[in-house]
Amino acid sequence: MRKFLTIALSFVMLFGLVTPTFAHPGALDELGGHFRRADCTYLLHHPTSLARKAKNMQELIALIKKYNSNSKCTRGLTPSKVNLEGFTFSHSQSHTPSTHTKPATKPTTKKVALPLIKINSKHTVKVIRVVDGDTVEVRFSNGATAKVRLIGVNTPETVHPNKPVEKYGKEASNYTKKRLTNKTVTLEFDVQIKDKYGRLLAYVWIGKELYNETLVKEGYANVMTIPPNVKYQKRFVTAERAARQAKKGLWK
């Protein structure tokens, strides 16, 4: 009987030793963890300095695959098969990228005020854009920009929101683009500085050439006199008469 008990006890002890060894191999890899044989779950028992270098789950899995020799378990390793056992990534970066990003903010730029413009004054500017035949956008020496409507003349419409492109409008617009785009010119003001739309009203000089008059003389515009800005009215009327007689542009 004693012999039977001794054999039985030895069997139990042997079974107790063998079973844990099968379920839990015990040896830790360089990261401080190992795979559980039963289901290939990676258990990170004692994270080493190498394991702590991982900033997220993907990096940790890459380290496990590199430093653990269990190719069977590393081959199909996924985040769901990693038990961190309380370990957290030091850089607080999730393995799932955030979908919430702050919208980019546009830098705000303070609008530069126009220089003081007096009656009959002159200002040198650069034409930065031609809107149509009789309207341009300019930049003053201080950086301020503004739209300028040429005084005393009117070219056919090309950009009016409620009107179709008028006859000879494109030709007039293209002519002004050719003559004024990126050119440095002189604006001469009359009595009224702005119109009801807030545009500056001016005569445009290219050197000694009065461009308002040129538009009329070449048949790209007709005279449109709006008091009190009448300084060069007579010159414009004379230019239009000559264009009509020569059947230029609008008068063909």
Q: Is 149 a catalytic residue?
A: yes
Catalytically annotated residue among 37, 139, 149, 235? 149
Q: Which residues pair with 35 in a beta bridge?
A: 42
Task: Answer positive or negative: Cα dihedral of 233, 236, 238, 244.
Answer: negative
190 within 8 A of 119, measured Cβ to Cβ: yes
139 is catalytic: no
Residue 157: active-site member: yes
- Residue 186 neighbours by CB distance under 10 Å: 16
Exactly one of 157, 213, 218, 240 is catalytic; name it: 157
Instruction: Centre a 10 Å sphere on the Cβ of residue 175 and count the other Cβ atoms it contains.
Output: 21
What letter does residue 22 receive in the DSSP assignment? H
The closest alpha carbon to 131, from 174, 164, 168, belongs to: 174
Neighbours of 49 (CB within 10 A): 9
Find the catalytic residue in 171, 188, 199, 213. Answer: 199
Residues with a known catalytic role: 149, 157, 199
